[in-house]
Structure 1
């Protein structure tokens, strides 16, 4: 059985190799993100925080816009400050203390039309953004159909609307929620890594979520 000192030494060697590769800066990923302006939704979540840290630590990012909503009477600026106090950013604070100035909060809400973004910021994103990463979603297994539809389905549609008007877009990345096809009809069956047809048109589902109360909508959609 390996002792703890051996494991720590191996981890330090791996980290040193990674840092050296980052300093060289000639990977295809680094070249792709060189001077990029990125817009991230879901940046306050587990995956989002890791993504922001990795991009800023490994690439020459010009700016990251992050969608944040006012929550628990905290402004988006207060929420961003709390977010950047997360231990995941400790190394960045030590090695690149000015990284905080590259992160710009945009007030919004993935449950709203246009992601709750005002016209001025919507236009700014369309003018500047090169890469969009849409990671915002509700992953509550007991979420109402109405809320899940507005956030996960309509939210994805709204991000597509933004992407279509971005003048310098290089890439749009969507992080899907897990277990998207684990419906009751597939219990005990193999769920393939494939695209399955939707039992209802997304546009119709969005319209129903926008116009119906949550209880009758849930009764209608439930299998």
Structure 2
């Protein structure tokens, strides 16, 4: 048990003061990652979520609904202000320049330390071209953004 606690505190210590970009946060892996970072790394500075418009619902509306997910109930109960560390970055990995505003791009380039890219197409009924665009070109665009980040320490595909 001590080994696990030590590992958890080392992870929490690593993320203290760091800003993180997460793509694919509304998917299973991204959602669990976000909850774990918020709950176990209290010193994390900001967690940026790249989120696109979907089915006519704006990114602003999507994030409000997303953060109401029961997965975040423990965080809301123990320390609801922790959710204030989540910052929406409207964008889309399929768009040119990720669809980022110049302000958001500059903020990510200057403040982000860690990138978790988990946006992916996992549907088997999607057109092959669309799946390839999302899973390869989208990843390449995230890599290009990561390469422009001045404080980047970790980028995990």
Same fold (TM over 0.5): yes
Q: How far, CA to CA, are the matches of 1:157 and 1:47 in structure 2?
A: 20
Q: Deviations over 1:34-80 (max 9, x none)?
A: 11100000001111111000001001211100011112332212111
Q: Deviations over 1:179-205 (max 9, x none)?
A: xxxxxxxxxxxxxxxxxxxxxxxxxxx
Tell me the equivalent position of 1:189: none
Q: CA RMSD in A?
A: 2.0
Instruction: Find out whether 1:125 has 2:108 as its counterpart.
Output: yes
Q: Deviations over 1:118-140 (max 9, x none)?
A: 22211111011000000001111
Tell me the equivalent position of 1:77: 60
Kept after mapping to 2: 8 A contact 1:112/1:150: no
Q: Deviations over 1:149-179 (max 9, x none)?
A: 21110011111111111010110011xxxxx
Q: Which has the larger displacement, 46-55 or 26-35? A: 26-35
Q: Deviations over 1:77-108 (max 9, x none)?
A: 21111001111000000011102211111111
Kept after mapping to 2: 8 A contact 1:53/1:88: yes
Kept after mapping to 2: 8 A contact 1:39/1:66: yes
Q: How far, CA to CA, are the matches of 2:99 and 2:60 in structure 1?
A: 16
Q: How far, CA to CA, are the matches of 1:31 and 1:56 in structure 2?
A: 13
Q: Which blocks of at least 5 consecutive residues in structure 2 are unaligned?
A: none
Tell me the equivalent position of 2:82: 99
Q: How far, CA to CA, are the matches of 1:25 and 1:156 in structure 2?
A: 29
Tell me the equivalent position of 1:186: none
Structure showing greater relative contact order (alpha-carbon pairs closer than 8 Å, 6 or more residues apart): 2
Instruction: Name which of 62, 65, 79 aligns with 2:48.
Output: 65
Instruction: Name which of 140, 151, 163 aligns with 2:123.
Output: 140
Tell me the equivalent position of 1:32: 14
1:57–1:25 CA distance, 2 compared to 1 (3 A): farther
Q: How far, CA to CA, are the matches of 1:142 and 1:70 in structure 2?
A: 21
What secondary structure, in the 3-state scheme, does the structure 2 residue paired with 1:146 have? Answer: helix
Please identify the structure whose Cα radius of gyration is greater: 1
Instruction: Name which of 33, 36, 52 aligns with 2:34.
Output: 52
Q: How far, CA to CA, are the matches of 1:25 and 1:97 in structure 2?
A: 25
Q: Which blocks of at least 5 consecutive residues in structure 1 are unaligned?
A: 1-13, 175-223
